[in-house]
Amino acid sequence: MKTDKLLFGAAYYDEYLPYDRIETDMAMMEKSHINVIRIAESTWSTWEPQEGVFDFTHLHRMLRASEKHGISVIVGTPTYAIPTWLAAKYPDVITQTHGATERYGRRQNMDIVNPMYLKHAEIIIRRLMEEVAPYKHVIGFQLDNETKSYDTCSSYAQAKFVEYMKEIFHNDLNALNHELGLDYWSNRINAWEDFPDIRGTINGSLGAEYQKFQRKLVTDFLAWQCAIVKEYARPDQFITQNFDYDWRGFSFGLQPEVNQWEAAKPLSVAGFDIYHPSAQDLTGAEISFGGAIARSVKKDNYLILETEAQGNHGWLNYPGQLRLQAFSHIASGSNSVMYWHWHSIHNAIESYWKGILSHNLKENETYREVCRIGAEFAQYGEHLKNLKKKSDVAMVLSNEALTALQWFGIHEKLKYNDIVRWLYDALYRLNIECDILSDTDTDLFSQYSLLITPALYSVSDTLVNALRSYVENGGHLISTFKTAFADKMLKIYPDDQPHGLTDVFGMTYDQFTDAVNVGLTYLKFTGLSEDDASSVHYWMELLQPSTADTLASYKHPHWGKYAAITYNRYGKGCAAYLGCYFDHASLQDLLLYLCKEAGIPLIQEQFPIIIKRGINDFGKEVIYFFNYSDDEKTITYHGKDGVLLMQGENVKDGNSITLKGWDFYIVEC
């Protein structure tokens, strides 16, 4: 979705404030060039304190004040945290999970398929939409908040799951039992009415299919909300959702509980929440990786609806970092930066997840840096909005593969998203920009010079054939261990591994083991000597090349005869297979070698210098040069003659550019 300006804002909660200061807040926002606020998503119990009793006082205060100060508004539907009266009247609205029945208290504890929850959610959504309809400065709507299924295992959900399985298997129990392997341990289901409680299953195929079904519940729930909101929304108002990521104390990887590609289909624009380490731990990798997923969801620009201002413990930014982060989001393809939240909260669990303002609600260093960012967005945003990005490299991700490795784990320290980030972060540090594709985006494969499939465990023959065709027609493929191992029901293929691709990779394997005291040797792709450390961790497949070249073998007294990394020419293209997880330095060397083989343009600068590119609305290339370090860095500019956007100075090929610590330059050419 194109925007006419960069959106810059914060979540704002008048109902949380300790005293009335709405005019003060709006004036401070206007001063800082904040041009949008997000409201209302957490306030069902405020809007409807008792069933059928509505009070929208705070809503109208925020809408009137923001209108007066020229600040646009995104209204959130308040369905992700239910009021006490709803839980008291309908106790089974509180969901049952694999662990237990939830209790009232925390947010997101409801059963999103419960009919009474849906009935009352629809009432509050419709009432809210009626209340905001007169306000022309409401520019869009956010559906719910970081929506999941919340592991619902309620009777409602499980009944829907049985119907879902009937549809998939055309009401054929024999087919279901065969495809899921339910004869094992006498788990066979011989009558639909005997379908067991899913919480007891030990069958990975059945358990993983239920998780896929739970992702579908999220898709259906958001589509249901979207349809209601569309009844009221004007043509100029957008509808979004603030998707999030796998959480490791910060935004880390592909979200396991939502198929975001499917869930985003009815939305006008994808929205995302990205949180990341700061201060000495700031690398920008989470902003870049999160942005790549966000671009992928609708193949378009996206909105950052939440990111940190002061944030959680340990996230307080060094001077300049907040500005660096804001422009890093824009360089990745976002059309907005919005902070959670404007003011630090004085009660409850997130009291120390601090906003732009601290608890004294006065100007501080963070606010002053926000003012600078806002002024620069206002002055230069016309050149930076709607940035179109196209990479030579794409990574193919899969919710099913992620779930498969939850059921059939490699190692407690090596999950699916660890493998994804192992590869993505290495590319990031080498300044090789990378797009993300879903495993259903096979029609887009040919647009890329290089495809990477991290642990693509579960594949259909359609996907296998797409990968074969991609390489045969001149593409370059990098796949890791655990690629093409099982079908979409996690049934392991009974042929040579990797399924359907042994000739493409020019190798096969039939044994694997934990990597203990194992290194890599014969590193054809690096200048390291035999004495340099190159270590293998957690997992290794014992590769047996046929037509493939061996790029590395295992350094081990017993496994030394096997290849660890292979490279094979097939048709007009090439395919590399990484049979193990190994150290980051060797991975970077390998990726440089393989990208060079694939004809990917490489540049000299590496992390902490990060370079991002795109095409703006004027058809000009915009190049960002970021310095993710404390130290001043001098680089040489290579490219067309251009202008340093914020300095107004000309820059030519061969000129030196000096970047201060945690600073950046933007070239338009």
Which pLDDT tens digit goes with each residue over 489-509?
999 999 999 999 999 999 999
State the pTM of this model. Answer: 0.97
CA pair distance 408, 22, nearest whole angstrom: 53
Give the β-pairing of 656-659 and 664-668: unpaired
CA–CA separation, 85 and 519 (whole Å): 61
Query: What average pLDDT does the chain have?
Result: 96
Fill in the DSSP letter of residue 531. Answer: T
Q: Would you say residue 531 has pLDDT above 70?
A: no
136 burial level (CB within 10 Å; 0-12, 13-18, 19+): exposed
Tokens at 531, concatenated: 């004495």
- Report the run of H or E that residue 595 belongs to, with start and end: helix 584-597
> How confident is residue 530, by pLDDT bands cut at 50, 70 and 90?
low
Amino acid at site 30: E
For residues 477 and 598, give the distance between their C-alpha atoms in angstroms, rounded to a whole number: 9
Band (pLDDT 50/70/90 cuts) for residue 643 is very high
Q: Give the pLDDT confidence score for residue 527 in this predicted structure.
A: 61
**What whole-number percentage of the chain has pLDDT above 90?**
95
Tens digit of pLDDT for each residue in 225-282? 999 999 999 999 999 999 999 999 999 999 999 999 999 999 999 999 999 999 999 9
The total number of residues shown for the chain amounts to 669
Partnered with residue 198 across adjacent β-strands are none
Count of CB atoms situated within 10 Å of the CB of 514: 12
Residue 533, pLDDT score: 58
What is the distance, to the nearest Å, from the Cα of residue 654 to the centroid of all Cα atoms in its chain?
37
In this predicted structure, what is the pLDDT of residue 534?
77
Band of residue 302 on the pLDDT scale cut at 50, 70, 90: very high
Dihedrals phi, psi of 614, to nearest 5 degrees: -175, 175
pLDDT-based confidence at residue 477 (cuts at 50, 70, 90): very high
- What pLDDT, on a 0 to 100 scale, did the predictor assign at position 102? 80
Instruction: Assign 479 to helix, strand or coil.
Output: strand
Phi and psi at residue 79, in whole multiples of 5°?
-100, 0
Judging by DSSP bridges, how do beta strands 251-253 and 246-247 pair with one another?
antiparallel
The Cα–Cα gap between 146 and 80 comes to 8
* Closest C-alpha to 53, from 23, 86, 25, 26: 86
Q: How far apart are CA 2 and CA 300, in angstroms?
A: 9
Q: Where are the beta strands (DSSP E) in 315-456?
A: 336-340, 393-397, 434-438, 450-453
- Measure Cα distances from 618 to 383, 614, 668 in Å: 7, 11, 10
Asked if 236 and 137 count as a contact pair (C-beta separation under 8 A), the reply is no
Neighbours of 584 (CB within 10 A): 11
- Alpha-helix residue ranges (DSSP H) falling in 195-320: 204-230, 260-263, 285-298
Q: Is 289 helix (H, G, I), strand (E, B) or coil?
A: helix
pLDDT of residue 245: 98
pLDDT in tens, 279-301: 999 999 999 999 999 999 999 99
Hey, what amino acid is at 503? D
In the block, which residue shows the tokens 């990005």?
389
Q: Which residues contact 610 (CB under 8 A, 6 or more apart)?
A: 284, 288, 328, 428, 431, 624, 625, 626, 628
Tokens of 499: 């399924």
Residues whose CB falls within 8 Å of the CB of residue 248, separated by 6 or more in sequence, listed in order: none
Alpha-carbon gap, residue 52 to 217, rounded angstroms: 27
Q: Say yes or no to pLDDT of 115 above 60.
A: yes
| pLDDT of 532 over the 60 cut | no
pLDDT band, very low/low/confident/very high, at 125 (cuts 50, 70, 90): very high
Q: Taking CA 566 as the corner, what is the angle to CA 560 and CA 570, rounded to the nearest 5 degrees?
A: 150
How far apart CA 430 and CA 645 sit, in angstroms, is 25
The answer to whether residues 570 and 529 touch, using CB atoms and an 8 Å cutoff, is no
Q: What would the two tokens of residue 612 be?
A: 């991002």
How wide is the angle at C-alpha 284 spanned by C-alphas 624 and 413, nearest 5°? 150
**Dihedrals φ, ψ of 536, to 5°?**
-105, 140
Confirm if 113 and 154 have CB atoms less than 8 A apart: yes
As beta bridge partners, residue 486 has 458, 492
